């Protein structure tokens, strides 16, 4: 038995934020939908990041929680939509995409940023002796793939605000991130 998602929960595949009865997404994800960063999963009808053809639940064949919108979902404005390509997911094509990340340093300080090359950014943190954050054993604690730099900047600012205003929410996101990493076999 899966938990049944009702229409008053955000329709994004892994967002459980409660929303008013006349909405189908939480505020942040409604913005993302209007900007063309998310669209609907053709298999389960919930919302997912545009760069993936299916939501991650459908993609890995995980059971999908029921979700029914409580309102009619209007057609997404085509002019804002980011194009999907099959090649993206396989990494054959150089695509415009940004990683918004949280790293934690030894002393438990969080640092939020965005980059096109996560591997390079992490080695910069480790090696750049001129940076105040260098050599402090950066641990990647959260990573999100975002389709445009503008959206990545907005998300970075949002995360910086959250670290100040709601550290519990950040802790939750970090443990979810590691849970997904373990599920995909990327972490012990």
List contacts with Zn ion (CB under 5 A): 10, 12, 15, 17, 26, 29, 41, 43-44, 55, 58
Nearest to Zn ion of 2, 119 (CB atom): 2
Smallest gap from residue 31 Cβ to Zn ion (A): 10
Tokens of 146: 């975002």
Nearest to Zn ion of 168, 188 (CB atom): 168
Smallest gap from residue 8 Cβ to Zn ion (A): 12
Nearest to Zn ion of 26, 146 (CB atom): 26
- Cα separation, 139 vs 122, whole angstroms: 9
Smallest gap from residue 144 Cβ to Zn ion (A): 13
Give 104-165 as a 3 state SS string: ECCCCCEEEEEECCHHHHHHHHHHCCCCCCCCCCCEEEEEEEECCHHHHHHHHHHHHHHHHH
Nearest to Zn ion of 12, 103 (CB atom): 12
Nearest to Zn ion of 139, 161 (CB atom): 161
Smallest gap from residue 41 Cβ to Zn ion (A): 3
User: Going by C-beta distance under 8 Å and a sequence separation of 6 or more, which residues neighbour residue 124?
Assistant: 131
Q: Are strands 139-146 and 110-115 parallel, antiparallel or unpaired?
A: unpaired
Length of the chain: 188
* Closest by Cα among 36, 37, 30 to 78: 36
Smallest gap from residue 23 Cβ to Zn ion (A): 10
């Amino acid at each position: 038995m899966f938990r049944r998602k009702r229409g008053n929960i955000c329709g994004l595949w892994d967002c459980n934020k409660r929303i008013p009865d006349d909405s189908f997404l939480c505020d942040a994800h409604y913005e993302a939908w209007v900007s063309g960063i998310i669209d609907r999963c053709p298999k389960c009808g919930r919302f997912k990041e545009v760069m993936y053809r299916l939501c991650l639940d459908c993609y890995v064949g995980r059971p999908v929680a029921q979700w029914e919108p409580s309102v009619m979902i209007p057609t997404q404005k085509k002019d804002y939509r980011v194009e999907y390509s099959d090649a993206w997911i396989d990494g054959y094509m150089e695509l415009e995409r940004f990683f918004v990340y949280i790293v934690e340093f030894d002393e438990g300080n969080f640092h939020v940023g965005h980059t096109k090359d996560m591997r390079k950014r992490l080695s910069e943190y480790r090696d750049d002796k001129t940076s105040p954050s260098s050599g402090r054993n950066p641990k990647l604690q959260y990573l999100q793939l975002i389709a445009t730099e503008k959206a990545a900047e907005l998300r970075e600012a949002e995360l910086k605000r959250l670290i100040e205003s709601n550290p519990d929410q950040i802790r939750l996101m970090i443990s979810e991130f590691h849970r997904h990493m373990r599920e995909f076999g990327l972490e012990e």
